[in-house]
Structure 1
């Protein structure tokens, strides 16, 4: 991923973003239950939208105010490049499907993208209180402590992850996911298939996992983790090994020592 400078970003902006994210996280924690909410598809979708609506007012105005002139990417499931300038790519409940099913794997994320490159991100886990943050060119951190990707050099020793980007993707994408999981099961050590993407990418950035791939261009699930992994010393490309951008059709983030082997495994499928 091409580097982007953070010369105009400072700790004050990061603090403003973190405060907004924490406020949203507290409201979502109050809404969280240890049991599933909703049985029918319509009920589940209604719960998901209700979560988003509950925190949007806590996020949008403060984040736009933190960077005057910035804009808001409205559709959290959209992909592709954005017009020039600064944009906030936010997932009010990253892993919303987990939240409404009483599972703990969810977060609140906000990433500032400048000219299609992520330059600042905050990922807040309300149930643990953890904050994963990154500024382009300044490293990635967990609660202020520097993060570093793993030192693995052998794909056969790697813990690797992937997952579905969104409901209702086309059958060809599902078949590619299945084929890629099979290929990684053969070549890696253990493969995790789960959602959301960000909660696997924070593990790559922290050196707990060694790679994550996804056949998707959904921006909100990738930009935060892309910046965190890159700033933690990882390699972020598409599945063919080309530099990743918002225009890329697929995504791969690894520790550098297994990147070539991961590309070799995934590129025939991608």
Structure 2
């Protein structure tokens, strides 16, 4: 009996089509549940609404993704950091920017990324309210609605639009200190600094050249793997804030336009 030939992920159009269908179906379902009038009164209600949103989206997306790649595992906790066991894993954020969705704000999306041996290989990011879809495969480029995207060509940090944000509520006091110090440092070095969530919705702008730099002093994998692959495949730089190659076990993250990477490292690496 012959051994099946494994098609490289970058060339597996069937897998990309299945991933697109699953993510778009989940996103369209969440669009129907979205209203700008949503409000919650306290933390208990907020947490309940977040969990309910996740369950709704996963109820549409999870089975389809596992059917598309039966050999892949499923990373259960979207707030987890660090490396995964060897092999293939689906890393998803069923409502990336969930806090915005439940507050009636438009900055949210749905993401699914296939990670192999801790390297992002394929990703889909869908923005239901605009209908835009970002896709990338390792070695295959990055695209917005089928058109290739490239990062900014700005040569100097003093003209840059840069951004950061917290990865999740309840980060450590030290992480909050680093975030604050990094914002101050970039306010003195860049043109404009954005502080917002979620990370993916800043990283797609870096990949497409609308923003120039994004960094984060945290390592929640579901908020970074999709954007990391998009930025890399668009031609941007993805490292930690000290300029070392970024990995799932890295404690922090930096993505930038190519010409601004060195200056960004110079600013952010001073923050300990």
TM-score range, shorter chain: over 0.9
Secondary structure at the aligned position of 2:230 is classed as: helix
Give the equivalent residue in structure 1 for 2:163.
161
Deviations 1:75-96 (A, max 9, x none): 0000000010000000000000
- Counterparts of residues 113-192 of structure 1 (less than 5 Å): 113-192=115-194
Give the equivalent residue in structure 2 for 1:12.
14
Deviations 1:238-269 (A, max 9, x none): 00000001010000000110100000000010
Normalising by structure 1, what TM-score? 0.97
Whole-angstrom CA distance in 2 between matches of 1:102 and 1:207 = 27
CA shift for structure 1 position 9: 4.5
Give the equivalent residue in structure 2 for 1:199.
201
CA shift for structure 1 position 58: 1.3
Contact 1:83 1:115 in 2 (8 A): yes
The answer to whether structure 1 residue 232 and structure 2 residue 234 are counterparts is yes
Deviations 1:196-244 (A, max 9, x none): 0000000000000001000011000000000000000000000000000
Structure 1 residue ranges without an equivalent (≥5): none
Secondary structure at the aligned position of 1:141 is classed as: strand
CA shift for structure 1 position 26: 1.2
Whole-angstrom CA distance in 2 between matches of 1:55 and 1:220 = 15
Whole-angstrom CA distance in 2 between matches of 1:239 and 1:229 = 15
Whole-angstrom CA distance in 2 between matches of 1:165 and 1:138 = 28
Count of paired positions: 266
CA shift for structure 1 position 174: 0.4
Q: 1:74 aligns with which of 73, 76, 85?
A: 76
Normalising by structure 2, what TM-score? 0.96
**Runs (4+) off by over 3 Å:** 5-9
Whole-angstrom CA distance in 2 between matches of 1:26 and 1:180 = 36
Contact 1:6 1:119 in 2 (8 A): no
Whole-angstrom CA distance in 1 between matches of 2:241 and 2:8 = 27
Higher mean C-alpha deviation, range 53-62 or range 103-112: 53-62
Deviations 1:140-162 (A, max 9, x none): 00000000001011011110010
* RMSD, aligned α-carbons: 1.1
Higher mean C-alpha deviation, range 33-42 or range 199-208: 33-42
Q: 1:56 aligns with which of 31, 36, 58?
A: 58
Secondary structure at the aligned position of 2:16 is classed as: helix
Higher mean C-alpha deviation, range 105-114 or range 30-39: 30-39
Structure 2 residue ranges without an equivalent (≥5): 1-6
Give the equivalent residue in structure 2 for 1:22.
24
Secondary structure at the aligned position of 2:162 is classed as: strand
Secondary structure at the aligned position of 1:97 is classed as: helix
Give the equivalent residue in structure 1 for 2:3.
none
Whole-angstrom CA distance in 1 between matches of 2:222 and 2:228 = 11
The answer to whether structure 1 residue 43 and structure 2 residue 45 are counterparts is yes
Contact 2:10 2:139 in 1 (8 A): no
